[in-house]
Amino acid sequence: MRYELYYWPEIQGRGEFVRLALEEARADYADVARLPEGRAGGMRALLRFLGDPKVARPPFAPPFLVAGRRIVGQTANVLLFLGPRLGLAPRAEADRLWAHQLQLTVADLVEEIHDTHHPIAGSLYYEDQKREAKRTAALFLAERLPRFLGYFERVLENNPRHGGWLVGARLGYVDLSLFQVVEGLRYAFPKSMARLEGRHPKLVALHDRVALRPNVAAYLASERRIPFNQQGIFRHYPELEAPARRARG
């Protein structure tokens, strides 16, 4: 099966969670919007798909995947679809649901990370919501991030298979996503991560093991991996890590 991934060509964004699964499995896929502009590739192909009135089940936003006649949108849903096909999902239904639940929690975390620099609206520039971003980021780093990281650490600790992966005894798509979250957080919030990582040794170990997977390592070293930048979900604005000013009164 040749898969077509549709995602914005210049950022890792949410598309990266799908890319990592396809790359780990060495799946045959095209990153359509990054292909030369034409009927079968480029941004026009992506936009045409989004706007095509003939598509009965259109995706709301990228990333989405085309597999034969099927079009699958929503990152967690794409991974739910791809997981068993790429050998990155557990067999039992209860375990698949659990993996999907964790992936949806990753999606929640990603949304909150995005909101640290765009708390008011995605359509406004960061510079136009900087004050609100500072408040949002301070609360995110003090309250929400430790809660999310602590949760995933607990999930790793509680996995009865104790193999270092989130679900069962084998690497799955959620492990790849959590690797990406740690990578992104290190880029966006290096000081906070330096402070928090010591408390989350299993999460750090998971990250390191994923980075050593031969297919992942080859991908990360390739030109297919877009570097982090200031347009994606993970952005490094040093001012968002500055210590919060004490509230008065």
Ligand X SMILES: N[C@@H](CCC(=O)N[C@@H](CS)C(=O)NCC(=O)O)C(=O)O
Q: Which residues bind ligand X (CB under 6 A)?
A: 13-14, 61-63, 74-75, 107
CA–CA dist 208, 224 (Å, integer): 20
Q: Of 243, 237, 248, 246, which Cα lies nearest the Cα of 119?
A: 237
Nearest approach, Cβ of residue 249 and ligand X (Å): 38
- Report the SS3 class of residue 70: strand
Region class of 29: left (phi > 0), else alpha (psi between -120 and 50), else beta: beta
Nearest approach, Cβ of residue 111 and ligand X (Å): 7
Q: Which residue type sits at 99?
A: A
Q: What is the distance, to the nearest Å, from the Cα of residue 226 to the centroid of all Cα atoms in its chain?
A: 13
Closer residue to ligand X in complex, CB, 18/196: 18
Residues in the chain: 249
Nearest approach, Cβ of residue 141 and ligand X (Å): 22
Closer residue to ligand X in complex, CB, 53/249: 53
CA–CA dist 228, 231 (Å, integer): 8
Closer residue to ligand X in complex, CB, 95/115: 115
Nearest approach, Cβ of residue 10 and ligand X (Å): 12
Q: Of 230, 232, 229, 212, which Cα lies nearest the Cα of 221?
A: 212
CA–CA dist 172, 241 (Å, integer): 32
Closer residue to ligand X in complex, CB, 106/196: 106
Nearest approach, Cβ of residue 76 and ligand X (Å): 6
Nearest approach, Cβ of residue 62 and ligand X (Å): 5
Closer residue to ligand X in complex, CB, 74/159: 74
Q: Which residue type sits at 216?
A: V
Closer residue to ligand X in complex, CB, 17/189: 17
